[in-house]
């Protein structure tokens, strides 16, 4: 079996799918590479294809009329996006941009919907994926409504650390987002992120080494978040 089969086998959606079915899926879809900064899906685009990111990392964002970028989430391979438009038939809810070199498989809407109908295990996995997205966005709404900038920075650092599945009280973000990236995610400006990260470093909570950000005391960072409120 080929590289494309191996790439799709890494998706949780296909964990209970027979190998010959995965081979058929891989062979019936379009594969394409993307360069850093290239748009994979455009906001409000009428296309309905579902994209399976097999290598690389991409970012979901919307650009305001002012040109300001509002980032929702980063998508690491193996990851899926575009499923909302395929399911509800509405325009794209965000732009997806490649952060580095990426390889993706594009599945037409009709093929995707037929696959969900034919394979209950895939349909359940997609529902679980969508549930996770809703919960994550709900958490962000609560943070924006109840926390000041300092608390939102703490919450974002904890979210990034938990995504690494680190054990113990430390976490290493080997390719940490820039201060501007963090600011775009939590509705603030780069200078506020720079100030707070500097304060956390002075307190011994984090240390920055090039593009790597080490969180040295997750317990303390969580305690600091729990003590934050909208007036901080």
pLDDT recorded at residue 232 = 58
Say what percent of the chain tops pLDDT 70: 98
Mean of the per-residue pLDDT values of the chain: 92
What tens digit of pLDDT does each residue of 50-99 get?
999 999 999 999 988 777 888 888 899 999 999 999 999 999 999 999 99
Measured between alpha carbons, how far is residue 22 from residues 8, 15, 62, 86, 123 in Å? 7, 10, 33, 20, 15
* Cα–Cα dist 8/107, whole Å: 12
What tens digit of pLDDT does each residue of 109-154 get?
999 999 999 999 999 999 999 999 999 889 989 999 999 999 999 9
Say what percent of the chain tops pLDDT 90: 81
Q: Is 48 exposed, middle or buried (0-12, 13-18, 19+ CB in 10 A)?
A: buried
Q: What is the mean pLDDT of residues 178-190?
A: 92
Q: Are 166 and 216 in contact (CB under 8 A)?
A: no
* Cα–Cα dist 118/113, whole Å: 9
pLDDT band at 230 (very low <50, low <70, confident <90, very high): low
Omega prior to 78 cis, within 30 of 0: yes
pLDDT band at 164 (very low <50, low <70, confident <90, very high): confident
Q: What is the mean pLDDT of residues 188-206?
A: 96
**What DSSP string runs through 41-80?**
E-TT-----EEEEEESEEEEEEE-TTS-EEEEEEEESSEE
User: Is pLDDT of 229 > 70?
Assistant: no
Q: Which residue has the tokens 């926390």?
A: 147
């Amino acid at each position: 079996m080929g590289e494309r089969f191996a790439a799709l086998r890494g998706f949780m959606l296909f964990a209970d799918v027979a190998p010959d079915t995965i081979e058929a899926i891989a062979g019936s879809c379009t594969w394409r590479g993307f360069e850093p900064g290239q748009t994979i899906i455009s906001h409000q685009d009428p296309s309905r294809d579902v994209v399976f990111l097999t290598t690389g990392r991409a970012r979901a964002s919307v650009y305001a009329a002012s040109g300001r970028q509002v980032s929702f989430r980063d998508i690491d391979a193996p990851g899926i996006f575009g499923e909302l438009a395929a399911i509800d038939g509405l325009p794209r809810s965000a732009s997806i941009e490649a952060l580095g070199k990426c390889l993706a498989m594009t599945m037409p809407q009709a093929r995707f919907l037929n696959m969900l109908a034919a394979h209950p295990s895939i349909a359940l996995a997609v529902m679980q994926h969508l549930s996770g997205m809703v919960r994550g966005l709900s958490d962000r709404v609560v943070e924006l409504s109840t926390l000041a900038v300092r608390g939102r920075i703490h919450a974002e650092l904890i979210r990034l650390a938990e995504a690494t599945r680190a054990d113990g009280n430390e976490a290493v973000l080997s390719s940490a987002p820039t201060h501007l990236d963090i600011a775009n995610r939590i509705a603030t400006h780069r200078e506020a992120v720079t100030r707070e990260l500097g304060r956390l470093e002075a307190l011994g909570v984090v240390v920055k080494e090039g593009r790597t950000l080490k969180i040295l005391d997750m317990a303390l960072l969580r305690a600091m978040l729990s003590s934050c409120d909208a007036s901080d």
